[in-house]
Amino acid sequence: MAMLKTETPSLAHSGLDQYGAAELVHAFVDEQLHAVQAVRAASASIAAAIEAAAPRLAAGGRLIYVGAGTSGRLGVLDSVELYPTFSWPHSRALAILAGGRDAMFTAVEGAEDDLRQGGADLNALAPGADDVVLLLAASGATPYVLGALRAARERGALTIGIANNAGAPLTREADVGITLDTGAEIISGSTRLKAGTAQKIVLNTISSALMVRQHKVYGNLMVDLKPTNAKLVQRSVRLTMHATGADEASARAVLEQCRFHVKVAIVALLRQASVAQAGALLEQANGSVRAALVK
pLDDT digits (tens, 9 = 90+) for 41-60: 999 999 999 999 999 999 99
pLDDT of residue 109: 79
Q: Name the β-bridge partners of 137.
A: 163
Q: Does domain 217-294 have CATH number 3.40.50.2300?
A: no
Asked if 210 and 34 touch (Cβ cutoff 8 Å), the reply is no
pLDDT of residue 10: 84
Asked if 32 and 194 touch (Cβ cutoff 8 Å), the reply is yes
Domains 22-213 and 217-294 belong to one CATH topology: no
pTM of the predicted protein model? 0.94
81 is catalytic: yes
| Cα(58)–Cα(122) distance, integer angstroms | 22
Asked if 274 and 268 touch (Cβ cutoff 8 Å), the reply is yes
Please provide the average confidence, as pLDDT, over all residues in the chain.
Answer: 95
pLDDT mean over 24-40:
96
Backbone torsions φ then ψ of 180, nearest 5 degrees: -110, 95
Instruction: Give the DSSP letter of residue 210.
Output: H
Catalytic position from the list 7, 109, 112, 154? 112
| Cα(27)–Cα(30) distance, integer angstroms | 5
* pLDDT > 90: percent of the chain: 93
**Residue 69 neighbours by CB under 8 Å, 6+ apart:** 98, 103, 107, 112, 192
Kindly tell me if the per-residue pLDDT of 295 is higher than 80: no
Higher-scoring residue by pLDDT: 107, 82: 82
272: left (phi over 0), alpha (psi -120 to 50) or beta: left
pLDDT band at 2 (very low <50, low <70, confident <90, very high): low
pLDDT digits (tens, 9 = 90+) for 230-278: 999 999 999 999 999 999 999 999 999 999 999 999 999 999 999 999 9
Catalytic position from the list 31, 51, 81, 248? 81
Q: Name the β-bridge partners of 67.
A: 97
Kindly tell me if the per-residue pLDDT of 12 is higher than 90: no
Q: Give residue limits of the domains in the chain.
A: 22-213, 217-294
Kindly tell me if the per-residue pLDDT of 110 is higher than 70: yes
| Cα(95)–Cα(77) distance, integer angstroms | 9
Superfamily grouping for domain 22-213: Glucose-6-phosphate isomerase like protein; domain 1 (3.40.50.10490)
Kindly tell me if the per-residue pLDDT of 1 is higher than 80: no
pLDDT digits (tens, 9 = 90+) for 126-157: 999 999 999 999 999 999 999 999 999 999 99
pLDDT of residue 5: 83
